[in-house]
Structure formats: structure tokens, C-alpha cells
Amino acid sequence: MNTNGQLLNFINGRWQTSSASAYGDVLNPATAQVQAHVPLSPGAEVDAAVQAAAKAFHGWRRTPVGDRIQPLFKLKNLLEENLDDIARTITNECGKIFAESVGEMRRGIENVEVACGAPVLMQGYNNEDIASGIDEHMIRQPLGVVAAITPFNFPGMIPLWFLPYAVATGNCFILKPSEKVPMTSQMLFELIEVAGFPAGVLQLVNGGKETVDALLDHPTVRAISFVGSTPVAKYVYSRATANGKRAQCQGGAKNPVVVMPDADMETTTRIMGDSAFGCAGQRCLAASVAITVGEAKHPFTEAMADVAASRKVGYGLDEGVQMGPVITAESQARVERLIEQGAREGANVLVDGRNHKVGGYEDGYFVFPTLLDGVNPGGELAKTEIFGPVLSLMHANTVEEAIALVNNRAYGNMACIFTGSGAVARKFRYEADAGNIGINIGVAAPMAYFPFSGWNESFFGDLHAQSHHGVEFYTQTKVVVERWPQEWSRQF
């Protein structure tokens, strides 16, 4: 940040004040105070970053993979050493509580660790003698210049879903973080600068739509990774692929959880409290709809009402606080409007999180945990991603009915079930239309060594983030068929 409170871009190994004509404010959502100003960088700055990346690529792809991962090992240690500072920054710009910010960073660091396995992960395969004396090999080569565009809700973790795999496999990478939470990326790149990557290998360009469009249209950018809302994911996917790029675009979600009568109610409601209200519901894996089956209805509804009403809401760095604010005033208004809409569609507002103030933080964008009972499965609320601390309840008589409700939606990020029955769990795993499944788990976030496997309107593309998928996404396969006849070689 410069002395005017302006955040900087990191291009060609140097911190630079942007030439942007417009800056956005970076707010603390708990206080509504401005903490910094983020440049909405013009296309020319994207071009400068791409040119520097293209120049660096020549040497970086020729750097042995074992050497390419050395700065990643260093980055892992730097992230560990600075974890508390980064987590405080996440809380101050994103609103989640400190423990959630630490948890997010742990999941990010896990991706750095997995990418350090690139010498094995990016190996190809071969056959000797596909015909007599002829061998065939598949090798993986990096793409060149690649970029990621990331959302506000995990400012530390989501850039690390992409960045480590991209550079470990030999690409040069540009990050365009969310303009709502750019301070965490600034810290990440301060550590990247120390970790010892050559200039141009990793770059940070702050900005908004114009910056994104410049990346999507730049002929030298070979691949785009995106995480954000579904309408923007669709837009980015269409424009990137129309321009001949690879794209992996993760979108929004509306995650259902089925609660069977044989579930352990105490564990289920405790886990569901975190799943629905953790990170103020601003998680793409947040439980948004709970569907009880049969006799689970009354005990679960009562227990969830207690969980919702008793969660302590406030500023995420204050002791004992269990849930922070939502990201902006617009978000707060949108979530409150959706609660109103649910009520209009016939739901009973059992716990109402609207119009609450937190002492000392009266200007913060707080919505308290909200529980809506009897949400109309055909209504707008059942379909819309709320992205706030709101849990909708529906009730079914059988597991078949519950699974039909689970599958009656456009998204497919996650679906969970709580049950004591292996047979019911297996049926659910088999039939639920979602890419991430939780069984007696409330937030089925894949570890870094599995792909983050959203489906349907939650994902556009083929290869997902993390792990083998990340390595495949950032490499192109080359197949070599070779013959070395004895008679062509000098005899020794």
C-alpha cells in the first residue's frame, strides 16, 4: 500500500502504483470503515503483466520441476509464520471470525503442500514396443501464461487453489483478486516476493470487470480459472472459451442437507449450526436447505431454532464471537429482502435475523442467524442462492421424497445427509445430483488432494480446482511416437 492508502499491483517482480483512473474502497464489514483503496486497473496494466509473464515463461518452463517447487516450500513456511497476521487481515476485510480465517488459510497452505508433489503429479506415461521397436510416450508440458479471477468469500484460500499448481507445472500466473478483499492478496504477494520466484512468474493485478475482460480477451493468456457467482462464471466461461482459452469456472450454490430420523440429533444440529451459519453463510458449501424425513422434523426444528438464536454475532476479532457480518450493505439488504420473500411465499420465520444491531459496531453489515420453516419447494427462495446466514427447512415423508427435493435445483455444488444407516447413506451418495457429497458431514470441502468437484450450474468446464485436476488443467499433453532403428545408428 502506498502512502495514499492505495493498494499496488505486483508486475514483473516490482510493486507498482496503478495508473487506474478509478479506485474502489476496501471496507471492514464489521465497522463500515474504509481501510484502503483498490485500483480498478486498466487493460494496459493487464497487458504489461501478460508481457512480463510471457517473457518469464521461457526460462521458467526450462527450470527443472524439482527446482520450481523450491520457492513453494519457502512460501509454505512463510505462510505458516505469518498465518495470524494474514488471518486478521481476512477477518478485517471479509468479516468472518478469526478461527475461520485461520482455517481458511490452513486449507490454502494444504494446496501449496500438494503442489510441491509436482515432480510426481505431472509425470506422463509410456509404452515400449507399441509396434516392434517403436515406443510411445505421453508427456505433460505447461501452457504458458494463465490467470485466475477470485471471489470475496475466501480471499486467502481460493487464490491458492490455483497459483501453486500453475507455477509448479511451469506456467506463469496472474491473479486478479476480488476488489472487495484485495488486502489479503497484497500480503500473499509480499511473501511471494520473499519466496524467490523469478520476476514475471507470479503477478498481481487488482481490478474489476474491465481488468477481467482484458484477461479474457488477451491472446497470450492460455487458461482462465474463475470462482464466483453463477452469472459471472457463465459469462467468463463463454468469453474465455470463445477466445480459445481453457476455462474452469466455479459458480454459486444452493446446498441441501437431508436429516434422517436415525441421525444423532445432537451432533447433527451442532454440525448444521456451523454449516449454515459459519462464515455468515457466505460459503459456496454452506448448508442452505435442510430437509427432514419423518420423525426428524420436530426434534431437528426445535434444536436448530436454539442453535440459530444462541449464536453470538459480532466483530470477528472479538473474543467469543461465533459469526461475523456479511460483506456489504447491499448484501445485507439482499439477504433481508430474501427472508421477506420467503415469508411471502408461505414460510414461517422461526428465528428472524433482520434488524439486529451489534453493540459498538452499529454501522456493521450484520444479519443474525435466521431459520425459515416450511419453505415452499416451488418458490423463489428454494432456488435462489442467499449467501447469508439463512437456513430454510422443508419436510419429507420418505428418503425418496427427500432426494427428489435435493435434486430439484439447478446447482450441484454439495449435498449432505445425516443418518445412522449405511444403506440410506449409500442410496444418497448414489442418487444425489451434486459433485461434493457429505455423509454425517456438514461442509464437505474436499482436501487439496481431491478435486473440488461442483456440478451443474455450480461449475462450467471439465477439470476442477486442486490436486490432479489442477495439474491436468495447467498442462497440455504431448504424445511422442519414436523409432530408433539399429541400422541408422553408428555402431560402437
Q: b or e along 320-355 (b: 16 or more beta carbons within 10 Å of the residue's beta carbon)?
A: ebbbbbbbbeebbebbbebbeebeebebebbbbbee
Per-residue contact flags (x/-) with ligand NAD for residues 269 to 308, judged by CB under 6 A: ---------------x------------------------
Contact segment (CB under 6 A) with ligand NAD among 44-52, 222-230, 359-367, 394-402 equals: 222-230
Catalytic residue among 94, 249, 284, 416: 284
In which residue are the cell numbers 474465455 written? 240
Within a 10 A sphere around the Cβ of 468, how many other Cβ atoms? 16
Q: Is 382 helix (H, G, I), strand (E, B) or coil?
A: helix
Angle, CA of 319, 158 and 120, to the nearest 5°: 120
Within a 10 A sphere around the Cβ of 239, how many other Cβ atoms? 17
Which of 28, 153, 332, 475 is in the footprint of ligand NAD by CB under 6 A? 153
Q: How far is the CB of 207 from ligand NAD (least distance, A)?
A: 7
Confirm or reject binding of residue 156 to ligand NAD (CB under 6 A): no
The grid coordinates listed for 151 are 471471489
Confirm or reject binding of residue 268 to ligand NAD (CB under 6 A): no
Pairing between strand 414-418 and 14-16? unpaired
Q: How far is the CB of 481 from ligand NAD (least distance, A)?
A: 39
**Which of 349, 441 has the CB closer to ligand NAD?**
441
Per-residue contact flags (x/-) with ligand NAD for residues 175 to 194, judged by CB under 6 A: -x-xx---------------
CA–CA distance from 108 to each of 115, 179, 447 (Å)?
Answer: 11, 19, 10
355-394 residues near ligand NAD, rule: CB under 6 A: 385, 387
Is 284 part of the annotated catalytic residue set?
Answer: yes
Alpha-carbon 154 to chain mean position = 6
Which of 185, 301, 419, 458 is in the footprint of ligand NAD by CB under 6 A? 458
The grid coordinates listed for 201 are 512468474
Is the sign of the CA dihedral 157, 161, 167, 171 positive or negative? negative
Q: How far is the CB of 192 from ligand NAD (least distance, A)?
A: 19
**Which of 209, 478 has the CB closer to ligand NAD?**
209
Confirm or reject binding of residue 413 to ligand NAD (CB under 6 A): yes
Total site size for ligand NAD, rule CB under 6 A: 28
The residues that touch ligand NAD, with contacts defined as CB under 6 A, are 149-154, 176, 178-179, 208-209, 212, 227-229, 232, 235, 250-253, 284, 385, 387, 413, 452, 454, 458
Catalytic residues, by residue number, are 284
